[in-house]
Amino acid sequence: MNIRRLPSASNAFKYPLLIKSILAYSVMLEPENEIVYKDQVRYNYFELNRRVRKQANVFKKLGLDGGQTIAVLDYDSHRYLEAFFGVPMTGNVLHTINWRLSPVQILYTINHAEDVVIICHSDFLPLLESLAKEMKTVKSIIVCADGGEYSKSPLLPIIGEYEELLAEASDEYDFEDFDEDAVATTFYTTGTTGNPKGVYFTHRQLVLHTLSVGLTFSAIDGACRFNNSDVYMPLTPMFHVHAWGFPYVATLCNTKQVYIGKFDPETVLKCFVKEKPTFSHCVPTILQMFVSHPATQNIDLSKWKVVIGGSALPKALAKAAILRGVDVITGYGMSETCPILSTVYVSPKDKINPDVDFQVEARTRSGTPAMFVDLRLLDDEGKVAPKDGETIGEVTARTPWLTQGYYNEPQKSEELWFDGWLHTGDVATMNENNSLKITDRIKDVIKSGGEWVSSIDLENIIGQHEAIQEVAIVGIPDAKWGERPHAMIVLKEGKSLTKDDLKAFMQRYVDDKTITAWTIPSSVEFAVAIPKTSVGKIDKKVIRATLLTQ
């Protein structure tokens, strides 16, 4: 195809999409809105900008002049927000370390990312001390002490405490323009086997993701909207996919932001009561705590908007949240996608529908593609599945912000991007309204007697029993049928349930043809807790592995 280009003026400026532009706009509209860290720190956007300049001068003094990796090993905090900007704005790469990984995995990510500096909360110094002899590239460690004391270790290259270093640094810094395709962030995603894989994102990708999320959640009327009048309190770790990108959106919008530090229910509830957040995002487990914890029963949740991700929102939990007044929807994405691919769209008309069951059905789908997101489903033959709400296929994606590969993993990168589309490994249906419904991970779909069984669908049905707090369904090997569903169930306190009770409960869904009798789990296990991954998802590979050893 022929296209036309026109000459530019000799001094015309080609504006690069850089993260510094997000921060610059934070003092444009409501600069007096606050950044809050627990009950310890409170400052406005003018001060955020000043502290980011100071942070940049700390890096400059260390000789970090761009292209080097600076890691953060901290809880959600104002410091983390500052690093979201200060590290990439100096041309360096921010590595957000997942402190919930095993020590061996953390060491791998530090070495693989080639971290030069680690900004580390004092709680994690013993961990780094245990890894000190095997960290290959780390030259400096900056300690975040939260105003307390910390023990200096002769094994670690500690250069000072974060606040003290900032206090000594100049607040004058001129952030340069550079190539918008420069890498800004990296972090690691874990799979079922092998070492964690490093994904990475450029300035251009993060700016475009921020604009898309901002527009998706503010320009379109519907449920769970977000703007600069909100009070934003993330309840997912900042190490996990840029806290879903919302800190960048909140900063661009000059929105008040509240960071809770180390997750502790009592601290979180105190922050909630004091700061009155109106917008959060979290995994279902956290929402479950807010809805069911005795201490929250007298807290008004009617002004709280919540985006659920990481794993499917159970219908029973969605209903409980809606009945408490929570404006809850689900979103879908993954580490490789920056992360947002889709979010639930509930139209203004549907939003006021008083039928709770209607709201549950609408809000627990996986969403409509966000702006600038192309999704297609591929069936077993590699053909594009029709949008009929029934045909399942693997979700493949194209957007401007997908990781372009796995760092130093060429073969896995090619597998990820087979045929020019990013392959998510999730299977789903899509209806005529472009609404996606994830039915399972490819590896979690149960194939029994030649039929496909969705573990997510079974979890939604079983989770609606009044005695059940949480449930996970996995496939276990069966000599005759290939696989059969196994249910791991956590009961609500004071409740009881037998396998026969569960079978009788599920029979009603067989009778109304929602499921077949064949899908009722063959085995049921009652547990105190269900294993979770480092980011709060149900860890089905651990469940399967445990069952195989029994």
Q: Which of 136, 274, 447, 495 is catalytic?
A: 447
The yes-or-no answer on residue 30 being catalytic is no
Per the annotation, the verdict on 336 as an active-site residue is yes
What's the CA angle centered on 65, arms 64 and 66, to 5 degrees?
Answer: 100
Q: What is the DSSP letter of 481?
A: T
Catalytic residue among 137, 189, 267, 391: 189
Residue 46: both structure tokens together? 């003018």
Asked if 537 contacts 526 with a C-beta cutoff of 8 angstroms, the reply is no
Kind of pairing between the strands at 482-491 and 468-478: antiparallel
Residue 333 DSSP SS3: strand
**Counting beta carbons within 10 angstroms of the beta carbon of residue 42, is it exposed (0 to 12), middle (13 to 18) or buried (19 or more)?**
middle
Q: Measuring CA to CA, which residue among 362, 360, 305, 310 is closest to residue 332? A: 310
Q: What is the DSSP string of 207-233?
A: HHHHHHHHHHHHTS-SSS---TTSEE-
Are the C-beta atoms of residues 474 and 543 closer than 8 Å to each other? yes
List the structure tokens of 144.
């975040």
Q: How far apart are CA 243 and CA 148, in angstroms?
A: 26
Minimal CA–CA distance to 41: which of 76, 86, 84? 76
Closest CA to 535 of 261, 190, 304, 287: 190
Query: Quick check: is 447 catalytic?
Result: yes
Rounded distance between C-alpha atoms, residue 408 and residue 411, angstroms: 9
189 is catalytic: yes
**Of 336, 394, 459, 470, which is the active-site residue?**
336
Q: Compute CA distances 468 → 229, 463, 527, whole Å.
A: 37, 6, 11
The letter for the amino acid at 100 is: R
Beta strands in 274-421 (DSSP E): 279-282, 305-308, 327-333, 340-343, 368-369, 374-378, 393-398
Looking at the DSSP bridge assignments, the partners of residue 95 are 71, 186
Catalytic residue among 274, 452, 495, 498: 452
Give the DSSP letter of residue 482: E
DSSP string, 49-104: HHHHHHHHHHHHHTT--SS-EEEEE--BSHHHHHHHHHHHHTT-EEEE--TTS-HH
For 395-511, where are the alpha helices, taking DSSP H only?
Answer: 410-416, 455-462, 499-511
Q: Nearest CA to 213 among 224, 202, 200?
A: 224
Report the sign of the C-alpha dihedral through residues 509, 512, 513, 516, in that order.
Answer: positive
Contacts of 208 (CB under 8 A, 6+ apart): 17, 372, 400, 401
The span from the CA of 243 to the CA of 222, in Å, is 23
317/319 Cα distance (integer angstroms):
5
What residues are labeled active site? 189, 336, 447, 452
